[in-house]
Structures are given as structure tokens and as C-alpha cells.
Chain A
Amino acid sequence: MSMRKVAVVGAGMTKFVRRAQETAKELSWQAAHMALESCEMTMDDIEAVCLGTAPDSFDGIHMNGEYLSDGAGAWRKPFMRSYVGGGTGVFVPIQGWYHVASGLFDVVLVVAEEKMSSYYPHAQAAFLTIFDHTTERPLKPNLLWIFALEMNRYMSTYGIRKEDIALVSVQHKRNAADHPCALLGDPNITVEDVLNSETLAWPVQRYDVSPVSDGAVALVLAAEHVTKRVTDKPVWIEGVGWNLDTAHWTNRDLAYPRYVEYAARQAYEMAGIKEPRKEIHIAEPYDPFDYKALHHLEGLQLADRGQAAQLYVDGVAARDGDMPVCPSGGLLGVGNPIAAAGLMKIAELFWQLRGEAGERQVPGQPKRGLAQAWGDLMQVGTVVIMGR
């Protein structure tokens, strides 16, 4: 069956900051405006808008998609908001992909925004309500718990040491020092700094975690005939996959993300990839916590189970390694405005594959990259493969 090809032709993003002066609408518009300028388009060229933003409780706005619609450029246009929790940032380009691949639209604007600082006094508290209202919420659970529980299980199942996991945080934060939008880039951070940081929920420490942030990212997606007209450096969406595991997270194996594997297999099949470790040149796995990057590399079949840390130890994951991981700096370094952070990874692949990533440019003219996000109750994997 012939598929309609879809390319990313423009990208834009705001700085990721702890607390932005701009409103959520303004951040959305800044990113959208930049994406349009980058491919010399205007809103008149845009036929539909896809928005990604994570829980309404951050913004304290019911039907937040409706509220943000004009900021995202959707005035008097078809507008839809998709939503898979933390996986949203890599889902919203998939939503854009199916808008174009369906044949209903030729040019679509994709916007992801998060303004977490609106939640008072601390955005983490908004996560109480992600737990089951009857069987879990009465225990006053904390978002850190589920990460700590999963990290502990992952470490003990495979015998992984904290110092190896800390390498992830170090590499990502060092990479982020070259990203002009980064919140927590640090060229000099060491494993000791991570291991000596404040314990939040053992085994999770302060520097294992990405920061709460505000920010927005936008892309322009186009059908093949439009793409050929507007750019000689298209980056194609070659494969997409997403998968949602059971909500009963205490009834499954926390050491391995099967849902990421299934999402990845869907994307590999669509992209015609048989040997992902050879055919993926840049990986941007989701890294809200350092161990998550490892967990996800294994789910993505880019490392054997329990072996992903070795990619960092051996330098394979370094920016000049055989398979650079998170050359952007990831969520740990650039920041984690939830939905925007996922879409930042897609924007990074766009810039990397076009050779426009500046200080962060991966050597060797990479041809194909993969970005992945994760979310809901440790439950959803979203994967996009892009190539030139």
C-alpha cells in the first residue's frame, strides 16, 4: 500500500527556563512563529494545528487545549490536542504525521507547550492526581515514588551500580552546555557531584532528576509535494509507533519497558529497519531521570537488557561515539517542560540530520535518528524515526 510521505520542514523553540515571564500562549506563539520563519511560511500556509500539552493541572486551566488554541495559531483552523501524559511530546508529531498522511492536509503546525510554574507552590504536587483515586491516592503518593520504585527494581534485577547510572546525568548535562536553550547545562559536572547530591527518594537523588521548566517547541510538517517546494533538506518521518501498557502498574515487570519495545517495533517495521543498532545513528531516548535513558535504550532494542549503561562507560553514547545518545543534552540538561521536552528531541534530530546543530553537531553526517518519550503511569512509549 502506498503511504503518503511526511517531512519536517521547519522547527522553533523557546529557551527552557524555571519560570518564564511569558504566558503559555505567548510561549506557544514564540515557538510557532520561529518554526514558520525557519521555512519561510506564514499562518496562511498552515491548514491545521496539532497541540501537545500535559496535565491541565499544571496550568490550572480546564480544557487547556482550547485556551491555548489561539496562541498555537489555531484561530479559525482545524485544531486538535493529543494527549498521552509524558509521552505527549513525541506523540504530537505522530498526530501531525497522521493529519498529513491521511491526505486531509498538506501543511500542519505542531506545537508542544508546558508552563509548569503556574502550579503553586510546586508542580510536583499536581502529580498526586495521576494515581488511582480509590486504590492509591489515599496513600498520598508522590511522583518520585514511582521513579524510585522502578529505578530500584531495575538496578537490583540487573545489578546496576548508581555510579554507572550517574554517568548518564553527567553526559547529558555536559552536552546541554552547548544548547542555547538549556536550563541545566554544565560542562564540568562529575559523577561525584551526582552521587553527592541531595537524596530525594532513595535511590533517586537531586541530580538524577530533570528540572521542572517552562517552554515551548514547534514544528512545521508537510506532504511530499510541498516539501520539495520549500526545502532542499527535508527530514522525513520514516516510522512512528506508540503503545500503552495496562494501568495496573503494580501487576507488571518494572525492570523492563515492554511498551517501549512494542512502540519501537511498530516504528522499525514502518521504517523498514531490521537492525536498529546499525541503522539508527542518533538516539534521543526520554531521560526525565538518568536511569530512564538506560531503561528506554533497552526497550528500544538499542542495548541488551541491563547493558545500556555500558554504552556510556564505553563512550558509544558520547556525542562523537558510534551511537550518540541525547546530543541535545536531553531533559536532564536542557530541561523538562513535559510535552515541549519531548518535541525538543524531534527538533534536535531535525537540526542534527540537516547538519545545523552548531556546537552540538554529531560528526559523520548522520542519516537517521530516533526520538522516544514515555509517560502516563510508567506505561506509554512513543517513538518517531526520522531520516534524510
Chain B
Amino acid sequence: MNERVAIVGLGWVGFRPVTPERSYKELMYEAALRAYADAGVNPRRDVETFVTVAEDFHEGTSIFDEYVPDQLGAALKPVHTIGGDGLHGLAAAYMLVRTGQFDLVVVEGHSKVSNLLTLPEVTAYAQDPVLNRPLRLNTHFVAGLEMNRYLHETGTTREQCASVVVKNRYNALSNPSASYGAELTLEEVLAGPPLAWPLGRREAAEQADGAIVMVLASEDRARHLTDRPVWILGVGWCNDSPSLENRDWAQAIYAREAGRMAYRQAGIGNPRDQIDFAEVDDVYAYKELQALEALGFCRPGEAGELTEAGVTAPDGDLPINVSGGSLGVGHVLDATGLARALEVALQLRGEAGPRQLEDVEVGLAQSWRDVPTTSGAVVILGN
């Protein structure tokens, strides 16, 4: 077995609202080229197995796995798709290295959402076909239901949720890869049109195109390849109930359980003390607050106060979504978790440019698979 696994290569393109000059294959190729150059590896010679994350209906292709290998340098090699978030893919790649059968594994995630003209229709197809879909509701309603219950149980306010938008979109101004940087006031966020009350239109992330490739290596191989490996200290993932009829509407149980699994591996008993910064799910603004509480960074109902007090700002005690998060970078569908992990890895390497945090050693990335799911994953990285 390979006990320790490191990320030794990072490559990405995007993240932009449209990318008409490139096909999805060409986006993946560009990200892969950059990752291989960064790791100093040749995919044809060195990489032993590849994992991609994709959902057929996002791609408009059944069995999307077919179209993965060529542009990653993976033809006639072991390749498989995980129908999950990028962090699920990262976890799969991590497990493959740990088996001891593989020393160099690649994980890829991408979004070409600009080519999907009817995203709400497709998302509605994730609802239960008999019990929920016939009601013909835009799937944002699930977030509205959840946010309402979350506010009710924790005493969190709409203003506190809106302050997440203000922070993350402002953070994105320091991220050249982000598309939705903005300097907004709390009032401007709250003055937006309602989406699914209490959720407002400006509290939901806009989509973006892009691709992310990461190269993972066993400890021996990592030490040969780089002097700045980013170690995977723990991974966790979990599903709560997919049913709208019997799930916990206030808490993100899946995030709590995924966090606990990752903490056990990483030996983390007190996340607030032991983790320096985090990139968490903020596809809807309230999700960031809910995630911070589920992950044990604070007690239920406290995350909003911490945000208002600036604790989660880049210069605060616990910086959250310094990249801009999905609200600021853009929501890249199945690649979302990899986008969060990408920022954590860049920060740990000291390569985050104008938004670089000082003295960071351990970071956490967390993702959620969007409405209507209760599926999420966590990875803890360290240098």
C-alpha cells in the first residue's frame, strides 16, 4: 500500500461564462497540458490511470466516458468516469494510489455548461420523476425550502447570507481566473429579484466553463517529481437521503459526515484550530454558512455572525472562499469540487498571487452536488 498521496501537478483553463473558441475536448486538452507540464510528467509514458468526473445530461452525450481519453493522453490506458463531483473523482484517484497498484494517477473535471441551452430543464430531470417532477417547479425551489428551514432553525438572517455574496464576489476581484468579481453592497444583493423566497437571485452562483486537471502521486514518486508536494491528509464523502420527503432540511448532514470521515484520517479533532482556511460550497450563499457549521468550524447559527464580523474574510481568522467561491469564480458543475481544491492547493504552494494568504499549512475543500441532491465531499490538504 501507498500510505501517503500528494498532488504534484495542477492545470486549469477558465473560468468564463462562454468559451466559443474551444470544444470541450480542447478545453480538457489545455488543462491537461498545463498539469503535465507543472508535474513534469508525460501522460503517455508515466501516468498509469485516469479518472474523470462527468454527468451525461450536462454533456449532452450518453456514456460521456467514451470521449475522455484522447485529449488527456489516456488512449489505451485504464480510464474511468465517476458520476460525481470533482472531489469524488479526487477521492477515487487517492484510493487508486493507496492500493499500491498505481503511483501516478490523473483526475479531470470540466464544465462546458455554456453549450447546454436548457440547464433548468436538465436539472429538473434530477427530481423524482413520479413524486416531484410533475409539479413542474424550477429546481431552485429545493434551495428555497432548505434555506428557509435553515434560517428558521438557526436564527441566521437573510442579511448574513447576503454578506457571503458581498465577500465572495469581492474576493474574486483578486482572482484572474474568476468571472464574477464585483464590489457590491449588502443592500444591492438584497435588492435583487427573488428566486425562491427567501433565496434571492443574487445569492445563486452563475455558471462558467472551464477544465481542471490534477496529477496525484505516491510518496516516493512525489518526492522525485517535486519539492513542493501538496499532501492529501484526508478525504470524505457522504450521501444523505435523495428524497425530498424525508431529509433533514436545516442541516447539511452529508457535509457533516464527509467532514468527520476526512477528520478521522487527518487526525483533526478541532477544525477551527487545526485548519487554516477553507474553500466550501457556496453555489447558494446560505450553503457557505450551513457548510461551515456542518464542518464544525462553529456552532449552528454562528456562521452568519462570523461572516458579518469579517472572520471569514481573507484577512480574518478563518478565511473562507478566498478564490471567490462559486459565487465569484462561477459554478463549474461537476468540476466544482476540483475548483475548490485547486485554490487550496495553490494557497498551500504559495502561488495564489494577489490573494495569497500568509502562513497557511492546512486547508479544506468541500463541495455539494447542487439541487436536488444531498451528496457532498471533503478533502483536507497540507504541505
> Chain A contacts of B375 at CB under 8 A?
66, 69, 79
Instruction: Tell me the bound Cα distance from A249 to B65 in angstroms.
Output: 14
Q: State the interface size on chain A (CB cutoff 8 A).
A: 65
Closest residue on chain B to residue A246 by CB atoms: B75
Instruction: Tell me the bound Cα distance from A168 to B28 in angstroms.
Output: 41
Dominant secondary structure of chain A at its interface with chain B? mixed
> Chain B contacts of A376 at CB under 8 A?
63, 65-66
Known A-B contacts A102-B99, A244-B65; A76 and B238 likewise in contact (beta carbons under 8 Å): yes
A57 within 8 A of B: yes
Cβ-defined contact, A126 with B242, below 8 A: no
Q: State the interface size on chain B (CB cutoff 8 A).
A: 61
Instruction: Tell me the bound Cα distance from A185 to B81 in angstroms.
Output: 33
B369 within 8 A of A: yes
Cβ-defined contact, A84 with B81, below 8 A: yes
Partner of A81, one of B57, B82, B123, B242: B82
B239 within 8 A of A: yes
B250 within 8 A of A: no
Cβ-defined contact, A83 with B78, below 8 A: no
- Please give the distance in Å from B198's CB to the nearest CB on chain A: 25
Dominant secondary structure of chain B at its interface with chain A? mixed
Cβ-defined contact, A80 with B237, below 8 A: yes
B68 within 8 A of A: yes
Cβ-defined contact, B82 with A83, below 8 A: yes
Instruction: Tell me the bound Cα distance from A132 to B23 in angstroms.
Output: 12
Within 8 A of B (CB), among A114-150: 126-127, 129-130, 132-133
Most buried by B among A75, A83, A241: A83
- Please give the distance in Å from A80's CB to the nearest CB on chain B: 5
> Chain B contacts of A2 at CB under 8 A?
1, 100
Stretch from A176-184, A258-266, A364-372 forming part of the interface with B? A258-266
> Chain B contacts of A241 at CB under 8 A?
78
Instruction: Write the residues of chain A forming the contact surface with B, with a CB cutoff of 8 angstroms.
Output: 1-4, 54-57, 60-70, 74-85, 91, 95, 97-99, 101-104, 126-127, 129-130, 132-133, 241-248, 258-259, 262-263, 266, 270, 375-377, 379-380
Instruction: Write the residues of chain B forming the contact surface with A, with a CB cutoff of 8 angstroms.
Output: 1-2, 55-57, 60-63, 65-70, 74-84, 88, 91-92, 94-96, 98-101, 122-126, 128-129, 235-243, 253-254, 257-258, 261, 265, 369, 373, 375
- Can you show 19 pairs from A to B with CB atoms below 8 A apart? A61-B129, A63-B373, A65-B84, A66-B242, A70-B242, A76-B254, A78-B261, A80-B92, A82-B80, A95-B92, A101-B95, A102-B1, A103-B98, A129-B61, A133-B61, A244-B74, A244-B77, A376-B65, A377-B66
